[in-house]
């Protein structure tokens, strides 16, 4: 097995230009990977900038994903942030910290997965960094473009509907099984770039569900100065999660993290427009609650328990 | 001492918007730190994108820099890449991996240093990421703008002069002393943004000296399909390095890394223009050699040793 320490940083980096796009006018790339910095040509308008990391021992453990899936994931968790603003990712950077004993083809697979996920979302890898380290850590940065409205976390108003794309709980369940030594793999995060761009035309606020719906709704409420009421019975729970946990599944899915779905608030006046565009999102869309005036309070309606369990917004409550 | 684990990720992050610029039209910031992604407004033209990391145990050890200087350094190593293309940094992201036992005020100081260095170079911090980890790692990504010419590593031609800004060897000497347990601190990298922008008007190729001049000149020669001859006696050696190492200083400075000076090639026809702009670079500029036709060969003229020691370009030779 050829390992990174046998090949060396520069020899590995020297192979990059062959595998990544250099100049590509279609993708706006004037100078691609391999120089001090990439040079790109942005269309006039607003840019979206974000960075997020996957760290071994924190976000994943060895064997939880194939190297290729890990690369895809490093892109997806960043693309999710761009999608949650209503934008499209365009250019990606990947900074990798890699133990010297890592097989070269593992690093190759990580990069290939990252580049493939980028391409699927209409973006290109234009550079990065490689450093020896004690554990594997992938820190990506994305530059996106917003062609239409940009949606922050801060625009939700009392009366707006609270909606969520896709289904929740599948990743949380997989992590629970992996930690318990019951095998499996982390599911690939969904791509919600197209959905985010379309939802941005009607949304008052939007956030991606990375820390768990309860916590992320809390972030949205805090930024908007509002509260929310969520009907647990309406929560779209991933089938695997429902099968495994039965009646406990909705509460689990409410707190589970890393689903990378979009949580979006939509004013009543735009609900008809939302219903019209829903078939073109490429995923389910479910109304799970409503925004309230009560600042920072996320209330739950639990069908199995008629009393409302009031909770302060945020992760601290749910851990 | 309040530590990060006592405060929590989200509580610390919640303090960021107070300390970082939110919307600032002057800086092109529509939405600053605190949302899913930052929103900025770029001027029409080319953008420069780069990422670089400082990892504890790899790039530095605990105590080598104050937390504030470490933050400044995390920005500076990235700004150096933007400067080497002839651009100006505009927006910065900082992804930090931080052990939970880290004192909060240490993280505060890192961020303050990062933000101060950004501001000094005309850039603003618009976002980032915070993750628990086993060691401290700072991965920054920068978006810069190029108002004039963009200069890659690939344009050097036989006959061009080889020039370097500032002086070399100070950081390498500091690292040697720190490793030997003789104390001291890492010197702050210089800011060469202004120099880079001005040198770009006359340069045929440019690179920043991060891996050591010999290695980085090798990268430039490889990208340009040329060779170079360097006169060791002309190398601008940092005074501390000269005092400590005497006659051995030039060879040490040639291989020493992390000086973050600019290495630039300039055609003969533009040498007069170079001489005219030199007083406005804000730093020394020294001609140390010339580009040759011999592909990938960096030859040394050593005044203390009349034979030319021919060497393959690149780091491998010098380690």
Considering only CB atoms, A97 lies closest to which of B55, B82, B208, namely B55
| A positions 124-183 inside 8 Å of B (CB) | 126-129, 131-135, 137, 139, 141-144, 146, 150, 152-154
Q: Are the Cβ atoms of A143 and B315 closer than 8 angstroms?
A: no
- Chain B residue at shortest CA distance from A39: B48
Task: Please give the sequence-ordered ranges of beta strands (E in DSSP) within chain B, or none if there are none.
Answer: 29-31, 38-41, 46-55, 88-98, 124-132, 137-146, 161-165, 205-208, 227-231, 262-266, 285-292, 297-302, 305-312
CA dihedral A34, A38, A40, A45 (to 10 degrees): 150
The better pLDDT of the pair A244, B305 is held by A244
Report d(CA A206, CA A209) in Å as an integer. Answer: 10
- The maximal CA–CA distance of chain B, rounded, in angstroms, is 64
**Mutation site, A28, A36, A214, interface B, largest B CB count within 10 A:** A36
Contact assignment for A316 to B8 by CB distance below 8 Å: yes
Interchain contact, A139 vs B129, CB within 8 Å: yes
A50 interaction partners in chain B (CB closer than 8 Å): 36-38, 93, 127
Residues of chain B contacting residue A39, judged by C-beta atoms under 8 Å apart: 46-49, 85, 146, 150
| Region B286-313 average pLDDT | 76
pLDDT for res A258: 93
Q: Residue A274 pLDDT more than 70?
A: yes
CA atoms within 13 A on the CB side of A76: 25
What distance in Å separates the CA atoms of residue B229 and residue B297, rounded to the nearest whole number?
Answer: 8
What tens digit of pLDDT does each residue of B122-168 get? 999 999 999 988 899 999 999 999 999 999 999 999 999 999 999 99
**B228 touches B299 (CB < 8 A):** yes
Assess whether pLDDT exceeds 70 at residue A281: yes
> pLDDT at position A103, please?
94
List the 30-89 stretch of B: residues with Cβ below 8 A of A: 30-31, 34-42, 44-53, 55, 57-59, 80-82, 84-85, 87
Percent of chain A that is helix, strand, coil (3-state, to 5) = 35, 30, 35
The Cα A189–Cα B183 span in angstroms is 47
Q: How far apart are CA B109 and CA B80, in angstroms?
A: 22
Tell me the average pLDDT across A171-197.
96
Q: Do B131 and A39 touch (CB under 8 A)?
A: no
Which residues of A are less than 8 Å from B129 in CB distance?
Answer: 51-53, 139
Q: How far is CA A153 from CA A267, B93, B131, B147, in A?
A: 14, 19, 21, 33
Distance between CA A96 and CA B261 in Å, rounded? 24
Q: Per-residue pLDDT tens for B269-283?
A: 999 999 999 999 999
In chain A, the percentage of residues whose pLDDT exceeds 90 is: 79
Which of B32, B33, B36, B209 has the most A C-beta neighbours within 10 Å, making it the best mutation to test the interface with A?
B36
Reference A263, options B10, B36, B99; nearest CA is: B36
- What residues of B are in contact with residue A58 (Cβ under 8 Å)? 97, 131-133
CA–CA gap between residue B94 and residue B317 (Å, rounded):
34
The answer to whether A86 and A151 are in contact (CB under 8 A) is: yes
Query: Positive or negative CA dihedral for A73, A77, A79, A83?
Result: positive
Reference A133, options B82, B138, B181; nearest CA is B138
Task: Give me the pLDDT at residue A20, please.
Answer: 78
The token pair at B8 is: 């929590």
What pLDDT, in 10s, does the model give residues A47-57? Answer: 999 999 999 98
Per residue in B31-43, pLDDT tens? 999 899 999 998 8
When CB atoms are compared, the residue of A41, A82, A150 closest to B46 is A41
User: Does the structure show a pLDDT above 80 at A309?
Assistant: no
pLDDT of residue B22: 63
CA separation for the pair A124, A25 (Å, rounded): 12
Q: To the nearest whole angstrom, how far is the Cα of B255 from the nearest Cα of chain A?
A: 16
Helix axes A104-120, A67-83, angle to 10 degrees: 30
Helix B104-120 and helix B67-83, axial crossing angle in degrees, nearest 10: 30
Which range (A298-302, B48-52, B101-105, B217-221) has the least confidence?
A: A298-302
pLDDT value of residue B228 = 97
Q: How far apart are CA A306 and CA A295, in angstroms?
A: 23
Q: How confident is the model at residue B292 (pLDDT cuts 50, 70, 90)?
A: very high
- pLDDT-based confidence at B16, cuts 50/70/90? confident
What's the DSSP call for residue A3?
B
ipTM score of complex: 0.92
pLDDT recorded at residue B317: 24
Predicted confidence at residue B23, as pLDDT, reads 66
The C-alpha of A150 sits at a distance from chain B's nearest C-alpha, in angstroms, of 8
| B30 contacts in chain A (CB < 8 Å) | 46, 150
Collect all residues of chain A within an 8 Å Cβ-Cβ radius of residue B45. 41
Alpha-carbon distance A136 to A132, whole Å?
9
Tell me, yes or no, if B227 comes closer than 8 A to chain A by beta carbon.
no
CB pair distance less than 8 Å for A40 and B46: yes
CB atoms within 10 A of CB B303: 11
Beta strands in chain A (DSSP E): 29-31, 38-41, 46-55, 88-98, 124-132, 137-146, 161-165, 205-208, 227-231, 262-266, 285-292, 297-302, 305-312
Measured between alpha carbons, how far is A205 from A263 in angstroms, rounded to an integer? 8
| CB proximity under 8 Å: A 289-318 to B | 314-316
The DSSP 8-state label assigned to residue A84 in this structure reads T
Closest to B270 measured CA to CA, from B137, B108, B155: B155
pLDDT, tens only, B194-233 = 999 999 999 999 999 999 999 999 999 999 999 999 999 9
């Amino acid at each position: 097995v050829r390992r990174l320490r046998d090949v060396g940083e520069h020899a590995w980096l020297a192979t990059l230009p062959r595998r990544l796009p250099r100049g590509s006018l279609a993708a706006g790339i004037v100078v691609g990977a391999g120089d001090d910095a990439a040079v790109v040509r942005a269309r006039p308008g607003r840019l979206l900038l974000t960075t997020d990391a996957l760290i071994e021992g924190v976000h994943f453990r060895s064997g939880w994903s194939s190297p290729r899936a890990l690369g895809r994931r490093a892109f997806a968790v960043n693309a999710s942030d761009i999608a949650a603003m209503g934008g499209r990712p365009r250019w990606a950077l990947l900074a990798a910290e890699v133990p010297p004993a890592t097989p070269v083809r593992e690093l190759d697979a990580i990069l290939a997965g990252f580049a493939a996920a980028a391409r699927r979302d209409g973006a290109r890898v234009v550079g990065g960094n490689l450093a020896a380290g004690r554990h594997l850590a992938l820190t990506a940065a994305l530059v996106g473009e917003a062609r239409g409205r940009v949606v922050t976390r801060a625009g939700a108003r009392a009366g707006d509907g609270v909606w969520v794309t896709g289904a929740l709980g599948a990743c949380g369940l997989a992590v629970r099984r992996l930690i318990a030594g019951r095998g499996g793999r982390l599911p690939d995060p969904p791509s919600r770039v197209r959905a985010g761009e379309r939802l941005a035309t009607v949304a008052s606020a939007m956030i991606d569900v990375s820390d768990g719906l309860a916590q992320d709704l809390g972030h949205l409420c805090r930024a908007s100065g509002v509260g929310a009421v969520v009907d647990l019975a309406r929560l779209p729970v991933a089938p695997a999660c429902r099968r495994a946990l039965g009646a406990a599944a909705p509460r689990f899915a409410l707190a589970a993290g890393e689903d990378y779905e979009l949580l979006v608030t939509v004013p009543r006046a735009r609900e008809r427009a939302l219903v019209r565009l829903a078939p073109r999102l490429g995923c389910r869309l479910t109304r799970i609650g409503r925004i309230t005036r009560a600042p920072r309070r996320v209330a739950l309606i639990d069908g199995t328990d008629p009393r409302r369990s009031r909770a302060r917004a945020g992760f601290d409550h749910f851990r």
